[in-house]
């Protein structure tokens, strides 16, 4: 078996960026898989252990949000795109679902806000993403889904 650099699913775009796209069912057990994929992909950028842990935590929160809040019990597909810029200093991770969407993104991103009435969720997912990543952008449309784009500046 060849190295990851030879994997046909990892593409070098014409501009030199490296990119991988993963689709997975919206199952809670896929959260760990997404974390590992992100960690392995970013390992070629020579990140610190802290940077790897930061990205893994943010990916975990974004995927969990898609599973729990985006789809709930109805299930669906989650997309994850990971891109490293030309010099390897910026890692971008995008998590996308075609779930119920978020009616008010600004309110949803406030610490402790949750739509979970069971009391099992803390409402800190977006806060954790913002704490562990350098940039977080959320785009959502009710009934159409949500796209969470996160950037981590490596080695800064």
Instruction: Confirm whether 46 is a catalytic residue.
Output: no
| Set 18, 31, 51, 65: catalytic member | 65
Instruction: Indicate the Cα dihedral angle 37, 41, 45, 49, nearest 10°.
Output: 10
Catalytic residue among 121, 135, 141, 156: 121
Q: What gap in Å lies between CA 144 and CA 14, rounded to an integer?
A: 31
The yes-or-no answer on residue 121 being catalytic is yes
Q: Find, among 55, 98, 57, 101, the residue nearest to 79 by Cα.
A: 98
Side by side, which strands form the sheet with 135-141?
A: 10-12, 18-25, 77-84, 90-97, 145-153, 135-141
- Count Cα neighbours of 132 within 13 Å in the Cβ-side half-sphere: 22
Q: Exactly one of 61, 74, 130, 137 is catalytic; name it.
A: 61
Q: Which residues are catalytic?
A: 61, 65, 121
């Amino acid at each position: 078996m060849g190295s990851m650099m030879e994997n046909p699913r990892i593409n070098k775009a014409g501009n030199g960026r490296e990119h991988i796209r993963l689709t997975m069912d919206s199952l809670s057990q896929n959260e760990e898989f997404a974390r590992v994929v992100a960690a392995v992909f970013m390992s070629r950028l020579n990140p610190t252990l802290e940077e790897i842990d930061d990205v893994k935590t943010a990916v975990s929160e974004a995927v969990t949000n898609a599973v729990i809040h985006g789809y709930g019990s109805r299930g669906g597909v989650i997309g994850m795109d990971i891109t490293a810029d030309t010099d390897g200093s910026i890692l971008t991770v995008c998590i996308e679902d075609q779930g119920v969407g978020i009616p008010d993104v600004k309110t949803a991103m406030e610490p402790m806000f949750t739509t979970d009435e069971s009391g099992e969720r803390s409402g800190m997912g977006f806060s954790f993403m913002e704490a562990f990543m350098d940039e977080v952008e959320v785009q959502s449309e009710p009934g159409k889904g949500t796209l969470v784009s996160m950037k981590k500046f490596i080695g800064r």
